[in-house]
Amino acid sequence: MGLYLNKLALILAVLLGTYVFVFGFLKKINEWRYVSSLGEKKHSLPPGDMGWPIIGNMWSFLKVFRSNDPDTFIYNLVKRYGRTGMYKTYMFGSPSIIVSIPETCRKVLADDEQFGLGYPLSTKQLTGKKSFHSIPNSEHKRLRRLTTAPINGHEALSMYIGYIEEIVVNSLDEWSSMKEPIELLNEIRQFTFKVITHIFLGSTAESVMGSVEKRYADLTYGMKSAAINIPGFAFYKALKARKMLVKILQGVLDERRVNDPNGKKGMIDLLMEIEDENGQKLPDEDIIDLLLMFLLAGHESSAHVAMWAILYLHNNPEILKKAKEEQEEILKNRQSTEKGLTLKDIREMYYLQKVIDETLRRASVSFCNFREAKVDVNINGYLIPKGWKVLVWNRGVHMDPQVYSNPKEFLPQRWENHQPRAGSFLPFGAGSRICPGADLAKLEISIFLHYFLLNYKLEQINPEGPIVYLPLPRPVDNCLAKVMKIE
């Protein structure tokens, strides 16, 4: 019996030793490959952990972002290594530096000379070579200047108010007439998609909207997934969706050339007319890549923010009451000759803008921005090696208790007489690559909330369920809700 126990103890010791050896060996592979190869420069890297071979720290990232508290990912780094604001890691298939405090975020996002875009391979393949996610800075500036005029500025935004109002009023009326609860996010997504297709496709929008909209959900889920082109994986399904979208938009371009539209023109017509310094027009492939990116970015984020704003208002009756009173005051002060909202009305929605900003902070629809170091860069005494990705952790800034007190609470009043310091409020990014549709998105959300607050309320809602934070934060059950008209 004693001999048997001795043999068993020996076997267990060998197995344990083997496990410790293999575990320690595997955990060091990324460290040897990416850190030790830097030579003496490795001593200047920020603290952190390179994780496992191939997957790095993606497992712990995904695990936390599938929980109801995704901020523990960055909190754990702060707890282990201190509030340095920079941490080395291996994520999204690359050695990376996470930056997570306003000062470091601002420096990275504002420096186009030393940092380029660094989106994951899946994002670049799905948005295309000529989308704003992939093109170099010089080309980005040119195309941005040409393509954002129709969605920015006083005159451009004023043009869209009446159209957005019409969609909002009709949508809310339709939802309130339904006997069964609606899937709130899907319904709001359809509203924002109608707006963006009208702006970018003009007279062709109605004929293709249904077929295009169906593909975008699949495209969204594949954007930040692993680039595994095998059936059953999100990226495989997203690639199929992209191919269908390219085919549909190519058909729109071909139709436009044969039948020059006399009706409403959209961004697609502007893109078809653009010429470079040599008089050459954009190839169809480039136009389609730009349209794919604009149509995706122009409705997904707006829909999610509008949904979260309604949920936060529903869960905070005092805030809801104050926001509603402001909209009633705007309605009361309106001239008798005015039949709808004006840009002046929207700019006087001071409290509602605080509600929207707090929603953007609290929901943090985009958890990070992706950059890549073009050269070795030193920030705050730490090295970011050339070729390493830089993950500007927006969510880490928005949920940092040293930046925003009680960050998990929804407190629009925190924006009273508050001017966020540079790098501390990043819902649309920052620097030259800031989202070109930010003003349009806030316009859509403001108009939507104006009519909702005046005439509707939520009932039979289940917002307490689990939340999925990737690729965008949303309730698992898509938030079933009953929209009721206020009599």
Backbone dihedral region for residue 393 (phi beyond 0: left; psi -120 to 50: alpha; all else: beta) = beta
Contact 392, 109 (CB under 8 A): yes
Please tell me the least confidently modeled range out of 2-6, 91-95, 295-299, 416-420. 2-6
- What are the DSSP calls for 74-96, one per residue? HHHHHHHH-S-SEEEEEETTEEE
pLDDT in tens, 426-458: 998 888 888 878 888 999 999 999 999 999 999
Higher local confidence (pLDDT), 192 or 293:
192
Residue 36 belongs to a domain: no
Closest CA to 119 of 202, 24, 267, 227: 227
pLDDT in tens, 252-295: 888 888 775 555 567 788 788 877 667 778 888 888 888 888 88
Percent of the chain residues past pLDDT 70, beyond the cut? 86
Q: State how far Cα 131 lies from the chain centre.
A: 15
Residue 450 belongs to a domain: yes
The helix (run of H) or strand (run of E) holding residue 383 is strand 382-384
Contact 208, 248 (CB under 8 A): yes
Helix ranges (DSSP H) in 223-283: 234-258, 267-273
Tokens (6 digits) for 110: 């504002």
Determine the Cα angle at 25 with ends 22 and 31, to 5°: 155
pTM: 0.89
Three-class DSSP category at 349: coil
* Domain CATH code at residue 130: 1.10.630.10
The helix (run of H) or strand (run of E) holding residue 104 is helix 102-110
Tokens (6 digits) for 299: 């409705």
The binding site consists of 435
Please tell me the least confidently modeled range out of 34-43, 217-226, 381-390. 217-226
Residue 22 belongs to a domain: no
The amino acid present at 334, given as its one-letter code, is: R
Tokens (6 digits) for 467: 């939340």
What pLDDT was estimated at residue 350? 96
Domain count, the chain: 1
Contact 232, 226 (CB under 8 A): no
Rg for the chain, CA atoms, rounded: 25
The binding site for heme consists of 435
Residue 24 belongs to a domain: no
Q: CA-to-CA distance for 116 and 137, rounded, in angstroms?
A: 8
Higher local confidence (pLDDT), 345 or 134:
345
Tell me how far CA of residue 346 lies from CA of 158, 276, 349, 361, in angstroms: 10, 37, 5, 20
Higher local confidence (pLDDT), 340 or 451:
451
Name the burial class of residue 468, with classes exposed (0-12), middle (13-18) and buried (19+) by CB atoms within 10 angstroms of its CB.
Answer: middle
Tokens (6 digits) for 41: 């420069």
What pLDDT was estimated at residue 146? 65
Contact 326, 373 (CB under 8 A): no
Confidence category of residue 6, pLDDT binned at 50, 70, 90: low
- What are the DSSP calls for 135-197, one per residue? S-HHHHHHHHHHHSGGGSSHHHHHHHHHHHHHHHHHHHHHHHH-SSPEEHHHHHHHHHHHHHH
pLDDT in tens, 378-423: 999 999 999 999 999 999 999 999 999 999 999 999 999 878 888 9
Residue 378 belongs to a domain: yes
Question: Is the peptide bond between 471 and the residue preceding it cis, with omega within 30 degrees of 0?
Answer: yes
DSSP 204: G
Tokens (6 digits) for 317: 């009756």
What pLDDT was estimated at residue 197? 86
pLDDT in tens, 58-84: 999 999 998 889 999 999 999 999 999
What pLDDT was estimated at residue 351? 97
Higher local confidence (pLDDT), 220 or 483:
483
Closest CA to 222 of 123, 94, 369: 123
pLDDT at 16 over 60: no
Please tell me the least confidently modeled range out of 211-215, 241-245, 356-360, 470-474. 211-215
pLDDT at 9 over 60: no
Find which of 15-29, 115-129, 410-424, 468-482 is predicted with most confidence, using mean pLDDT: 410-424
Closest CA to 159 of 206, 202, 192: 202
Helix ranges (DSSP H) in 259-339: 267-273, 284-315, 317-332
DSSP 111: -
pLDDT in tens, 113-162: 999 989 888 888 888 876 666 566 666 666 666 666 666 666 778 888 99
Backbone dihedral region for residue 387 (phi beyond 0: left; psi -120 to 50: alpha; all else: beta) = left
Residue 375 belongs to a domain: yes
| Section 171-196 average pLDDT | 92
Residue 463 belongs to a domain: yes
Contact 120, 224 (CB under 8 A): yes
What pLDDT was estimated at residue 262? 57
What pLDDT was estimated at residue 354? 97
Residue 37 belongs to a domain: no
Domain that holds residue 133: 45-485
Mean predicted lDDT score pLDDT of the chain: 86
What pLDDT was estimated at residue 19? 46
| Section 190-199 average pLDDT | 88
Q: CA-to-CA distance for 408 and 469, rounded, in angstroms?
A: 15
pLDDT at 205 over 80: no
Q: CA-to-CA distance for 313 and 222, rounded, in angstroms?
A: 31
What pLDDT was estimated at residue 476? 79
